[in-house]
Amino acid sequence: MSRKRKSIPPFKSEAEERAFWESHDSTDYVDWSRAERARFPNLKPSTKAISLRLPVDLLERIKIAANKRDVPYQSLIKVWLAEKVDA
């Protein structure tokens, strides 16, 4: 037997919606057993290109570290930056 779901209220802004979902359980509003997997093949992540000057020696060491991990050096830099910011 399916239970009665609450109606999702209208939101004035994305911030208001975010605050709502931070303090409410979605299972009161959505029947996740009926959810279907969605694919967004043309969705592009929002990124911004920057210019960053690094000493040649540092860049070479980063490239060596990336090569050892078999990842592009720019991806490794992004991972390291994210880890440091989150720490």
In the chain, domain spans: 48-87
* pTM strictly above 0.85: no
Indicate the DSSP class of residue 75.
H
Q: What is the C-alpha to C-alpha distance for residues 71 and 65, in angstroms, rounded to an integer?
A: 9
Cβ contact 28:5 at 8 Å: yes
pLDDT by residue for the chain (87 residues), tens digit each? Answer: 567 899 999 999 999 999 999 999 999 999 999 999 999 888 888 888 999 999 999 999 999 999 999 999 999 999 999 999 998
Q: What is the C-alpha to C-alpha distance for residues 66 and 6, in angstroms, rounded to an integer?
A: 49
